Structure 1
Amino acid sequence: MISRHMLAALCALQASAVIVDHTFVDGVAGYPQDLMNAIGTQRWFFAHASVGGNMRSGLDALRGSNTGRYQWVTSSVTYDSGAQRAANPPSPTLAGRVYCCNRGNPGWSAKLTIFSNSLAVSGWHIPAADAVMDKMCYIDQAASAANYIAQMTALEALYPVTRLVYITMPLTTDSSSDNGLRNAYNRAVRQHCAAHDKLLFDLADIEAHDTNGVAQTFVSGGVTNQMLWSAYTTDGGHLNALGQQRAALGWYAVGAQIAIPEPAAAGAVAVAGAVLVARRARADR
């Protein structure tokens, strides 16, 4: 039986900002099966390039390890470079599918156009997709966070029942000025999401903490920045099997935030309470 207080808590979860960072990753293993089942019904559209491909591989590996718990199946969506959009959704799209459009790296501004066209022209929004996400790559260090935020805000107004999920830019292992630019972009996105009650997949924060939660940082111009943990990569930017797993678990944690406001059973409510407690603990730090 869901109490009135828990219902209020669930509404608060839906209405407040949630930044899914490294502190969420290890908790996924403890999610009750009914919550994993709810996550497993979601339909995602994901526009990406190579690191996004790493994330997809992580989802596939999780599913291979336990298909009953990690139920998402990834499917490829053709990219039409001439029209600058993903191909139209199949009819119907299937529950538990992550539809991945590898549109490569045509430049950060073009990536925004492609994502917008994929929703507005191709139709990648409800009823075809429940949640959508557009990921920049680490080579997009010059990207404008303001432009990304403005586009997401406009799309939210056009598709109010589709969940637009924000995501931070992935990092590299070095302490270069380019990595500093990535951090500046990510800070701006985090600040917007925190101030405007958005759901953020903080991929960069997951990349920047080892499996014990130790931050990987460098200081530039008096500012502490994050960097990719070297054990998550073999080339300084793309994710290896361990990095892919951590990113994929983080993605499931994002899925839980979408599923929790409409739980099918008491187990999901228990997780909602745990999420609230964890969030309050982080806020008190």
Structure 2
Amino acid sequence: MRSARGFPARIGALLLPGALLMVLPRSAVATAEEKPDATRAGLERLSQRRVFFGHQSVGGNILEGVHALLPAPDALSVVEVKDPAATIPAGTLAHAFVGQNEQPETKLAHFERLLDGGLAKQVDVALVKFCYIDFTSSTDAKALFEKYRATLAGLKSRHPGVTFVHVTAPLTTVQRGAKAWFNELRGRPVFGVGENVSREAFNALMRRTYDGKEPLFDLAALESSQADGSRETYEVNGRAYPAMVPAYSDDGGHLNAQGRTRVASALVTFLASLPEPQREAPASAKAQP
């Protein structure tokens, strides 16, 4: 998708690489700030919980960030699981690389198989995250969201003892400067522009459906927000869309040390803030007077 900027704006983009981006005020978005005390308290609370996280590479970045936050190696066990019948003790952040990149439906199917295969009996909280590469400028965000919604609704119905957390799709930076200007001039796609539009369409449906109703971790809002709350955006046809803050990534998509710390801290605090799981008592316990 091409921006509807005029020639003067293109010249400005060539001379001033940051001119394509705007910064919105702090009030435009609410994101979790990094609070060391809250992170430490969150890690302590997670030591009593069992969490399962389905992801690919950006999820791996987030887990690297969690590792870096641990005050001691045994403060929280971060382990990869492949067998859905595996035993998951309290204090475990279990994870799996689910599905194939660029095929988001396979991630949902794999996540579903693992939980239905026995993992749901072993965990208190479960979440699955798409990757930025799962979205192109032509992605049907509504159709993908409907597939996601139906999958999660089915899992929630079959496994009422598990708290399912929804996660918005991650963003990328937007290409800027001379290269972006030349690509646009030649009718070539500018990295991040059309793809982030699709991601935002999906994320808007996530927020509209789940925000305030079910747990929603807004990864995209964290990635597109500075520490002071101001947002990184760009404009397409007069409308502002969020993009990843360049300081959070070295390659435009994966999280670097700063990005990992920001997102991991927020995720730990978020997961720790969830209500205590309400597991159904075993039949033998119910039978006792």
Give the TM bin, normalised by the shorter chain. 0.7 to 0.9
Match of 1:178 in 2: 195
List aligned pairs for 1:1-285, cutoff 5 A: 23-27=31-35, 29-31=36-38, 36-63=43-70, 66-67=71-72, 71-78=75-82, 87-91=83-87, 93-103=88-98, 104-105=100-101, 107-121=103-117, 123-125=118-120, 127-141=121-135, 142=139, 144-174=144-174, 175-194=192-211, 197-259=213-275
Residue by residue, what CA displacement relative to the aligned partner does 1:225-271 show, whole Å, maximum 9, x if unpaired? 11111001000000001111111111112212214799xxxxxxxxx
Going from structure 1 to structure 2, the CA distance change for 1:34 and 1:173 (only over 3 Å counts) comes to closer
Deviation of residue 211 (structure 1)?
2.0
Change over 3 Å in CA distance of 1:73–1:51 after alignment to 2: same
1:158 CA drift (Å): 1.0
- Other-structure match for 2:189: none
More moved, 38-47 vs 253-262:
253-262
Structure-2 separation of matches of 1:259 and 1:96:
16
Q: TM-score, normalised by structure 1?
A: 0.73
- In structure 1, distance between residues paired with 2:90 and 2:246: 35
The 1:40/1:239 distance shift into structure 2, 3 A limit, reads: same
Indicate if the aligned counterparts of 1:38 and 1:259 stay in contact, CA closer than 8 A.
Answer: no
Instruction: Give the whole-Å Cα distance in 2 for the aligned partners of 1:34 and 1:234.
Output: 30
The alignment-based identity, stated in percent, is 30
Q: Cα offset for 1:155?
A: 1.1
1:199 Cα offset (Å): 0.3
Q: Using a 3 Å threshold, how does the CA distance of structure 1 residues 201 and 34 change in structure 2: closer, same or farther? A: closer
Q: 1:257 to 1:42 in 2, by over 3 A?
A: same
Cα RMSD (Å) of the superposition? 2.3
Compared with structure 1, are the counterparts of its residues 88 and 35 closer, same or farther at alpha carbon in structure 2 (3 Å cutoff)?
closer
By how many angstroms is 1:72 displaced? 2.5
Contact 2:102 2:133 survives alignment (8 Å)? no
Q: CA deviation at 1:224?
A: 2.0
CA shift, 1:145, in A, is 1.3
CA contact (8 A) 1:170 1:204 kept: yes
Once residues 259 and 194 of structure 2 are traced to their aligned partners in structure 1, the CA distance between those partners, rounded to angstroms, is 23
Preserved contact between residue 217 and residue 225 of structure 1 (Cα < 8 Å): yes
Where structure 1 has 5 or more consecutive residues not aligned to the other structure, the ranges are 1-20, 79-86, 263-285
Give 2:205's aligned amino acid. A
Cα deviation for residue 146 of structure 1 reads 1.8
Point out the more displaced range, 211-220 or 98-107. Answer: 98-107
Q: Aligned pair in 2 of structure 1 residues 221, 261: CA closer, same or farther (>3 Å)?
A: farther
